[in-house]
């Protein structure tokens, strides 16, 4: 027997699909991240900042507005838009939780410019990146080490350190933390401080 989704359920599905688009399309994630960090901006500011073609920028803005991820902030020209804060937690059958947040979207956005993040997503998926992001927060708060992260994720210590370092700027852009985590120099040792 088929069942018609209620309006609220329809909105939840629409919201989920729009978030899925952000996680699958790094360029779209970059646009969301830019507006989220700026608070609000115009298409012209987006074009200048991300070096996008005008048509591409408007397509992204329209897509994100149509899906409810962007909202116009005022009437008038030029139109200004703001990114809606996203906070979605998914629970798997084995009780693992993954949180989709502006920080995760920012990490996905870096896929186009950071080879470490790009290859990590290729190997472990966006859910693996979400887990690594959680570990990066814990590491920066001094609650874990790259060795413990490697054990927990079932990856090499080197791969753990590389992804923790790649995600570190995202963590500091999106969370208020004291700078207490280890740096790559701490891991490598003082014998080669230029690494």
Domain termination site, one of 33, 57, 83:
83
Domain that holds residue 76: 7-83
Last residue of some domain: 61, 83, 105?
Answer: 83
Distance CA 7, CA 5 (A): 7
Residue 102: name the closest of 22, 14, 166 by CA.
Answer: 22
Whole-model pTM: value is 0.78
| 97 located within any domain | yes
Q: Is residue 152 part of a domain?
A: yes
The pLDDT score that the predictor gives to residue 3 is 33
- b/e 53-62 (16+ beta carbons within 10 angstroms → b): eeeebeebbe
* Residue 22, in any domain of the structure: yes
Co-location of 102 and 175 in the same domain: yes
Which of 88, 93, 98, 81 has the alpha carbon at shortest distance from 31? 81
Residues 178 and 116 in one domain: yes
Same domain, 14 and 46: yes
Residue 44 structure tokens: 């012209």
Using pLDDT thresholds of 50, 70 and 90, give the confidence band for residue 74.
confident
**Rounded-to-integer distance, Cα 45 and Cα 48, Å:** 5
Q: Are residues 122 and 184 in the same domain?
A: yes
| Domain total in the chain | 2
Q: Do 181 and 92 share a structural domain?
A: yes
18 to 32, 38, 74: CA distances (angstroms): 11, 20, 23
Q: Are residues 94 and 159 in the same domain?
A: yes
- Rounded Cα distance, 135 and 103, in Å: 13
Q: Is 54 left (phi over 0), alpha (psi -120 to 50) or beta?
A: alpha
Q: Contact 98/86 with Cβ under 8 angstroms?
A: no
Residue 17 shares a structural domain with residue 76: yes
**Are residues 99 and 171 both part of a single domain?**
yes
Quick: pLDDT tens for 120-132.
999 999 989 999 9
CATH code where residue 22 lies: 1.10.10.10
Give the Cα-Cα-Cα angle 133, 61, 82 (nearest 5 degrees). 65
Residue after which a domain boundary falls, among 83, 105, 138: 83
Asked if omega into 78 is within 30° of 0 (cis), the reply is yes
Q: Which of 137, 128, 146 is nearest to 179 (CA)?
A: 137
List pLDDT tens digits, range 16-64. 666 888 889 999 999 999 999 999 999 999 999 999 999 999 999 999 9
Asked if 74 and 122 sit in the same domain, the reply is no
**Confidence tier at 178 by pLDDT (50, 70, 90):** low
Note whether residue 193 is domain-resident.
no
């Amino acid at each position: 027997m088929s069942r018609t989704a209620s309006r609220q359920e329809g909105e939840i599905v629409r919201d989920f699909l729009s978030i899925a688009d952000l996680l699958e399309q790094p360029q779209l994630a970059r646009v969301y991240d830019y507006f989220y960090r700026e608070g609000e901006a115009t298409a012209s500011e987006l074009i200048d900042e991300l070096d996008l073609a005008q048509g591409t920028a408007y397509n992204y803005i329209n897509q994100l507005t149509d899906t409810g991820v962007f909202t116009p902030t005022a009437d008038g020209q030029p139109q200004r838009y703001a990114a809606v804060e996203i906070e979605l937690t998914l629970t798997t059958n084995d009780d693992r939780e993954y949180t989709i947040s502006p920080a995760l979207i920012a990490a996905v956005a870096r896929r186009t410019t950071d080879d470490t993040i790009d290859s990590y997503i290729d190997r472990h998926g966006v859910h693996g990146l979400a887990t690594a992001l959680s570990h990066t927060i814990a590491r920066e708060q001094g609650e874990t080490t790259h060795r413990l992260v490697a054990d927990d994720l079932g990856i090499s210590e080197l791969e753990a350190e590389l992804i923790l370092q790649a995600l570190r700027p995202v963590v500091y852009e999106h969370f208020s933390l004291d700078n207490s985590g280890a740096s790559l120099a701490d891991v490598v040792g003082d014998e080669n401080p230029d690494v």
